[in-house]
A and B are shown apart, each in its own frame.
Chain A
Amino acid sequence: MADTPSPLETASTRALLARLLDEAAPVRRLRTPVARLGLWLIVVATIAGAVIGLGLMGVRSDLRVKLRDPVYLLEITALTVAGMLMAAGAFQEAVPGYQARWPIRRVALGFGLLAALLWFLQPRHGELAVTQFIGTGIGCASRTVVLAALPLCALLIAVRRGAPLAPARAGALAGGAAFLTAALLMRIDCPLDERLHLLVWHALPVAGGAGLSAVIGFVWLRRWRVRATR
């Protein structure tokens, strides 16, 4: 070790430091996670407004009655909070060393599980035929995927602008946020309050979407270290 020069003194380190100084161009600072969350919510609200406004999606006919049901309200609230917190978590993942004051990921997961639990407590309608179950279910699942696509792309692109040190986790959080938001919109649209329908065609796409997004994140979000210097 005695004859090994310190990494601070080697020619290659000195050359690297000189290169970094040469590349000291101004950079556009990343907005804070809170500000970016606000922007993302505006994007999501715009997409939801456009989808409903253009008649691509409706609202359930009994929505007024359902809004007086505390369980339904709790379910909607849990989906909203879980989606927002997961998006906040994804934005925080983009900033190295960012430490929130409270365990945001766990709380988000808790609200997500609360929504799933409330779906599990819904009544079971045994009389639904298998073809009907699959037919209506595929419609719900596919619309969930379509609704989640744009918010997910926006979120992944926004996270990639940062430097996510745990890309798979960042991807999972982004997927969770986008699919929970889509699940929320679907709950306002879909009139079926049936346990199996909700668990299979509403909850599973959220879990699958988050998992797929984790894979996308692992492959795509980790490239910030090798991309061209800004």
Chain B
Amino acid sequence: MDEETLRARSVQRARWMERVQRGDREAYDELLTDMAPPLLRFLRRRIADAHELEDVFQDTLMAVHRARHTYDPSRPFEPWLFAIARHVAVDHFRHRVALTSREVLVEVLPERGTDADPRNPCLAEALDRLPPAQREAFEMLQLEGMSVATAAARAGITTGALKVRAHRAYKALRTFLGG
């Protein structure tokens, strides 16, 4: 791709983002579709594990969504996007290092809790704070009552990876709920 095309694409992304800030759903759809492949390439250069890559990719999308009001359309879009992506990836590595030094994988996941009611406002709020992949794992196992194998198949990951996500979700929820 030549420089002119890249510049034109960057200008187009800035325009889409400007419309996104005004609440334009169509522009958001176009922007997300357009920026996802380069964003994924950027993250893939930093993360080898496919499941971690998915987690970080989704976290980056969430971070971009939450920071969208900080984008200045008079500036190029890519430095803004990749600064967020780099931050999420680095943050992920920091958390992983901290977690792997402490976490223990359990053979049997805990039984479904009686207080895992999504209508509980505290739980709903805590669930909102979870990364999407962890939230999905928790919801499938604890709220929908799926088996580990079924939930893993639905998420398109191995049972081991699902257990890891669920385990992290429990730990995070425990922290959020002050347990």
Give the B-binding residues of A (Cβ under 8 A). Answer: 1, 4-8, 10-13, 15-17, 20-21, 23-30, 32, 94-99, 162-163, 165, 224-230
Contact = CB atoms under 8 A, between A and B. Distances in A.
Instruction: Enumerate the 5 nearest inter-chain pairs by beta-carbon distance, A residue then B residue, closest first.
Output: A97-B83, A26-B23, A163-B67, A97-B79, A27-B69
* B interface, over-half SS: helix
Interface of B: 20-25, 28-29, 32, 36-37, 40, 50, 53-54, 57-58, 61-63, 65-72, 75, 79-84, 87, 128-129, 132-133, 136, 154-156
Given A10-B54, A165-B84, A94 B70 contact: yes
Given A8-B40, A26-B22, A96 B70 contact: yes
22 contacts: A12-B156, A13-B57, A13-B61, A16-B132, A17-B61, A26-B22, A29-B21, A29-B69, A30-B69, A30-B70, A30-B72, A95-B70, A95-B72, A96-B67, A96-B70, A97-B82, A97-B84, A98-B75, A162-B67, A163-B66, A163-B70, A163-B84
Nearest to B155: A12
Contacts of A17: 32, 61
A6 B62 contact: no
Contact of B36 (A1, A8, A228): A8
Contact of A96 (B40, B58, B84): B84
Given A7-B53, A21-B28, A32 B69 contact: no
Given A7-B57, A27-B21, 11 more contacts: A7-B58, A13-B58, A16-B58, A24-B23, A27-B68, A29-B72, A30-B70, A96-B83, A226-B129, A229-B66, A230-B69
Contacts of A20: 28, 32, 61-62, 65
B154 A11 contact: yes
Contacts of B81: 97
Contacts of B21: 26-27, 29
Contacts of A23: 65
Nearest to A8: B36
Nearest to B130: A226
A29 B40 CA distance: 26
A25 to B, nearest CB: 5
A8 B40 CA distance: 8
A11 B153 CA distance: 11
A55 B68 CA distance: 44
Contacts of B65: 20, 23, 229
B50 A12 contact: no
A224 B84 CA distance: 12
Contacts of A230: 66, 69
Contacts of B25: 21, 24
A1 B50 contact: yes
B58 to A, nearest CB: 5
Contacts of A29: 21, 69, 71-72
A165 to B, nearest CB: 4
Contacts of B32: 17, 20-21
A6 B43 CA distance: 12
Contacts of A94: 70
Contact of A28 (B50, B69, B154): B69
